[in-house]
Structure 1
Amino acid sequence: MALYLSEFYVFDQDKPVPVIIRNYTQDDFDELIQIQSECFPPPFPSDLWWNKEQLSNHVMRFPEGAICIEVDGILAGSLTGLCVNFDYNHIEHTWEEITDHGYIKNHIPSGDTLYIVDISVRPKFRKLGLGKLMMEAMYHVVIQKKLVRLLGGGRMPGYHKVADIMTPEQYVKKLLKGDLKDPVITFLLRCGRTPIGIVENYLEDEESSNYAVLMEWKNPFNQTKGESGNNGI
């Protein structure tokens, strides 16, 4: 097991600020739950915020996939993943199914795909690019473990504004053309993720009309397994 630790600087306007990306531990649990409440306020269901049993499972079952980021000593965000096997011909799933309701008891150590369970950055730190830095840290884990890909369902919280005039597929095409921007999907595109399909009833999420965009990052050093698919996008 190779744990993660990276120390460097980000810039808050012109000021360098020290940052640490590391694996989170039991000592971080209270703060991680507080971060969830700040990142996912109502109408997002509060029962989907982390609880301590879930967080305990993350650090016990797959500590490499449980990372957080500190900014000048303050815990500012986290990212959690698990390993699964993925088949392009069977992309339909819910967040609850593939993450075991966030408990990741279905983590497969020999799985070919690192699946993102959650990414959270405190609102007051979001201008620093921390989410992208944590995502890149997970790419390092994918490469280190010689996995095929990183995958995850991205919320599309801007979709409800146009749901009466376009399908989810049309919405994503607008995002890819740059005609629209979405707080989550556009961010994931900036992180190097590629949309490969729309998943219905992914999560109870009014803003996304319960849809998610399945988004992939393929390990550039492991192209021997699986083929990309776009399922109509």
Structure 2
Amino acid sequence: MYRKEGYVFQDGKPILAVVRNYEKKDFKDLIMIQQQCFPPPFPSELWWSEAQLESHVTHYPEGALCVEIGGEIVGSITGLLVDFDPDNPFHTWEEATDHGSIRNHKNSGKTLYIVDISVKPAYRKLDLGKLLMQSVYERVVHDQLDRALGGGRMPGYHKYAEQLTPEQYVECVLSGELKDPVITFLLRCGRTPICVVPNYLDDEESHNYGLLMEWKNPFK
């Protein structure tokens, strides 16, 4: 299984962080993180349930990771393996993840699809999201997969929806004219855009759009 220790920094002070696979004993903590990370208007029915988390650790435990600070779980990332056709990229989050349950995980898949990443708001300045994402990239390289892939929310888009198409909004983020809390973060993590996907997720702030973004295995 996976375990990594490394230092992150808070106000210049190094703090030890541990990334590891999450287990059944962690489920309640993981659900609490979701509640803090995705408050209304984000749909509460999209928070993890214990049944979904059980499915994650059953179908693809290698893609179920959490990060601890001082023994406290403060973030997580979840993935599954899928087949991905770059010539037919459009899909919904529910289709790609089987409604978050990942029962459609394919051991033979060459794309690690990122279902979700969450970090407690109080810990977001420690770059833990980037640490979790790097851990996924390490799995991609170790298992000789093609890419990490996922759809990023566009929560800043609702502020500009009357003036910009979603594609124009993304271009403004890529040019540095605008910043988006999710898309800008994913760019900092090394992800690159593929296309805007309509009706990707029930998400009022993003007007239901998602930006499909990938990280390609540099050794393939």
TM-score (norm 2): 0.99
1:150-161 equivalences in 2 (<5 Å): 150-161=148-159
* Structure 2 counterpart of 1:150, one-letter code: A
CA distance in 2, matches of 1:14, 1:182: 26
* Structure 2 counterpart of 1:159, one-letter code: Y
In structure 2, the partner of 1:228 is none
1:38-57 equivalences in 2 (<5 Å): 38-57=36-55
In structure 2, the partner of 1:230 is none
In structure 2, the partner of 1:61 is 59
1:197-216 equivalences in 2 (<5 Å): 197-216=195-214
Secondary structure at the residue paired with 1:183?
coil
1:40-119 equivalences in 2 (<5 Å): 40-119=38-117
CA distance in 2, matches of 1:167, 1:14: 40
1:167 pairs with one of 162, 165, 168? 165
* Structure 2 counterpart of 1:174, one-letter code: C
1:167-201 per-position Cα deviation (integer Å, ceiling 9, x unaligned): 01101111111000000000000000000101000
In structure 2, the partner of 1:30 is 28
CA distance in 1, matches of 2:150, 2:88: 14
* Structure 2 counterpart of 1:119, one-letter code: I
CA distance in 2, matches of 1:135, 1:76: 14
Q: CA offset at residue 14 of structure 1?
A: 2.0
2:193 pairs with one of 195, 198, 210? 195
In structure 2, the partner of 1:8 is 6
Secondary structure at the residue paired with 1:208?
coil
In structure 1, the partner of 2:16 is 18
Secondary structure at the residue paired with 1:38?
helix
CA distance in 1, matches of 2:145, 2:63: 13
CA distance in 1, matches of 2:12, 2:208: 40
Secondary structure at the residue paired with 2:113?
strand
Secondary structure at the residue paired with 2:162?
coil
Secondary structure at the residue paired with 2:205?
helix
In structure 1, the partner of 2:130 is 132
1:177 and 2:172 matched: no
Q: Structure 1 stretches of 5 or more lacking a match? A: 223-233
Moved beyond 6 Å, runs of 4+: none
In structure 2, the partner of 1:225 is none
Q: CA offset at residue 10 of structure 1?
A: 1.1
TM-score (norm 1): 0.94
Q: CA offset at residue 91 of structure 1?
A: 1.1
CA distance in 2, matches of 1:196, 1:190: 16
Q: CA offset at residue 202 of structure 1?
A: 0.5
Secondary structure at the residue paired with 2:202?
coil
* Structure 2 counterpart of 1:93, one-letter code: H
Q: CA offset at residue 89 of structure 1?
A: 1.4
Identity of aligned residues (%): 62
